[in-house]
Amino acid sequence: MSENAAPPHNGPARGGEEEGEKTTSIRIASYNIRNGRAGGLEAALRAMAQANVDLGVFQETKLTDGIYTRQSSGYQVIASDAPSKHQGGIAVFWRDSPHWQIEAYQAFGPNVVSFQLTSGRRERWYVVGAYIPPHDTATLEYVSKALEARPEGVDPILIGDLNANLADPESARAGKIADTLAAHGLEDMFGHFRQRRPYRDGNTWSMLRQGRLITSRCDYLLGVDRRTFLNVCLKAP
């Protein structure tokens, strides 16, 4: 879909369950909601509930001064203070479950957050949510700091809107983003799964410019082990 949205992703879930245990999948979403003000956050949460998403990260929330809804549509929310009401901001949302929980939430600037996702099967993932605005060169430093804070032995997952084509960087900025994430062992998980129309080309943003359709890839789910995921896909909410 256009406007930089990529919900939902399915995972994490691993095979090899122990006797008497069942594998529980967790539906994770990354979604650029464009504006969480004036009811936008609540509308996005309703869409996530309809999609049966368990937890995720919203980008471009544009929420400031700590003024936002903490609970809605069965979800709890923690949001950063955006640099302004016109750009940026990020939020983590989740619903309670007996099978998993999130903990150790931490913000790295206004557009990067991290938390640990733990399951009842004694598995743990370190999740980083990120929004890198177009032409921005400063947020990548916060992404690096978040990844460097990963506990030893815990697999990382990065989800978000990076505004960069990692497979074919079109600028020095995009190349630096791709190199930084690759240095942490992260790779794009979308390529491991067949995408449905209209997202088979992987593009999540488009604009008609001077009669020409411009498309690009902005939204990602990155990981270090494809086996962690049952499916990774692009969907309209």
Mean pLDDT of 28-52: 96
Contact present, 222 and 181 (Cβ < 8 Å): yes
Provide the mean pLDDT of the chain.
86
Measured from the Cβ of residue 43, the count of other Cβ atoms closer than 10 Å reads 16
In terms of pLDDT, which residue wins out, 73 or 9? Answer: 73
In the structure encoding, which two tokens stand for residue 221, read together?
A: 């789910």
Q: What's the confidence (pLDDT) of residue 14? A: 37
In terms of pLDDT, which residue wins out, 72 or 205? Answer: 72
Query: What are the pLDDT digits (tens) for 42-71?
Result: 999 999 999 999 999 999 999 999 999 999
Lowest-confidence region among 40-49, 59-68, 114-123, 157-166: 114-123
Peptide bond into 12 cis (omega under 30): yes
Q: Which CATH number fits domain 5-12+26-232: 3.60.10.10, 3.40.50.300, 2.30.40.10, 2.40.50.100?
A: 3.60.10.10
Spans of all domains in the chain: 5-12+26-232
DSSP string, 98-162: SSEEEEEEEE-SSSEEEEEEEETTS-EEEEEEEE--TT--SHHHHHHHHHHTPPTT-EEEEEEE-
How far apart are alpha carbons 26 and 9 in whole angstroms?
A: 9
For residue 18, pLDDT beyond 60: no
Q: What's the confidence (pLDDT) of residue 5? A: 32
Report percent pLDDT > 90 for the chain. Answer: 70
Mean pLDDT of 177-192: 94
Measured from the Cβ of residue 61, the count of other Cβ atoms closer than 10 Å reads 29
Closest C-alpha to 49, from 29, 73, 33: 73
The type of residue at 29 is A
Mean pLDDT of 91-116: 96
Q: What's the confidence (pLDDT) of residue 24? A: 74
